[in-house]
C-alpha cells in the first residue's frame, strides 16, 4: 500500500494554528536564522491579538508597511511554512523583499514545501491581479532560487544591498501570461 502525499493548504493565521506557527519560529531561532520584526506576538500581545494583527495587515497595515496577505502553510495539521503577498511595492521592498516573502519550517525543508506554497500563492486572485511580482533572495540560498525558478521566476539582476549587507538576486514572475494551476488538493482556508 503506497503512501499518499500530504496536501499543503494555505490558511489565514488563526489562534488554533498559532502554537504550531510559533514552534516553527522556535526551530528557525534555534538554527540562528533571522526572525523578522512582527513575526511573533509582541510583549503585551495575546495570541488572539497577534493573529488579529496579522489578519489586519491585509487592509490596515502598520505605519510604514504596505498591505499584505499572510498565510500559513499547513500540512497534516502542522504549520510548515509562512508566505506573504505584499499588495504593492515601496522603495524599501523594491530594494529588498519584493512582493512575496516566505519561510519554510526547518524540519519541513527539502520536501517541496516552499515550491508548493509559492505555486498556491501565485494562483490566488490577488496575486493574479498584480500581474507581475518581484521576489528577492540571497544568491547562496540554493533552495529559494530553485523554488522561484520552478514557479516561473526570471532572474533580472543581482546586486549588493547595503542595509542588509548582502548580495541579492531579483526575480520577476509574470502572471499575466500563465494560467493558474491546481494541485492534489484545495488551497482554501
- CATH (domain of 131): 3.40.630.30
Tell me, yes or no, whether 183 lies in a domain.
Answer: no
Strand partners, 82: 72, 103
pLDDT tens-digit map of 95-142: 999 999 999 999 999 999 999 999 999 999 999 999 999 999 999 999
Q: Which domain holds residue 158?
A: 8-174
The total number of structural domains that make up the chain:
1
Contact 126, 87 (CB under 8 A): yes
How far, in Å, CA of 108 to CA of 164, rounded? 26
Contact 25, 17 (CB under 8 A): no
Tell me, yes or no, whether 179 lies in a domain.
Answer: no
Tell me, yes or no, whether 53 lies in a domain.
Answer: yes
Q: What is the pTM of this model?
A: 0.89
Tell me, yes or no, whether 68 lies in a domain.
Answer: yes
Percent over 90 (pLDDT), the chain: 83
Look at strands 68-75 and 8-11 and give their pairing: antiparallel
Tell me, yes or no, whether 93 lies in a domain.
Answer: yes
Q: Cα angle at 42 between 40 and 46, to 5 degrees?
A: 90
For residue 19, how many C-alpha atoms fall within 13 Å in the half-sphere facing its CB? 2
Tell me, yes or no, whether 66 lies in a domain.
Answer: yes
Tell me, yes or no, whether 185 lies in a domain.
Answer: no
Amino acid at each position: 500500500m503506497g503512501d499518499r502525499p500530504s496536501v499543503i493548504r494555505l490558511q489565514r493565521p488563526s489562534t488554533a494554528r498559532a502554537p504550531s506557527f510559533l514552534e516553527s519560529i522556535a526551530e528557525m531561532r534555534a538554527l540562528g536564522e533571522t526572525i523578522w520584526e512582527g513575526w511573533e506576538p509582541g510583549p503585551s500581545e495575546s495570541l488572539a491579538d497577534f493573529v488579529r494583527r496579522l489578519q489586519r495587515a491585509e487592509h490596515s497595515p502598520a505605519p510604514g508597511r504596505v498591505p499584505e496577505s499572510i498565510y500559513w502553510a499547513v500540512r497534516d495539521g502542522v504549520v510548515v511554512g509562512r508566505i506573504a503577498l505584499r499588495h504593492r511595492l515601496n522603495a524599501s521592498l523594491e530594494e529588498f523583499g519584493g512582493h512575496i516573502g516566505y519561510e519554510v519550517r526547518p524540519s519541513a525543508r527539502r520536501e517541496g514545501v516552499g515550491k508548493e506554497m509559492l505555486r498556491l500563492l501565485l494562483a490566488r486572485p490577488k496575486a493574479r491581479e498584480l500581474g507581475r511580482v518581484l521576489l528577492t533572495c540571497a544568491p547562496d540560498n540554493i533552495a529559494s532560487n530553485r523554488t522561484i525558478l520552478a514557479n516561473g521566476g526570471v532572474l533580472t539582476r543581482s546586486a549588493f544591498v547595503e542595509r542588509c549587507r548582502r548580495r541579492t538576486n531579483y526575480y520577476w514572475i509574470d502572471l499575466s501570461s500563465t494560467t493558474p494551476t491546481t494541485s492534489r488538493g484545495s488551497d482554501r482556508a
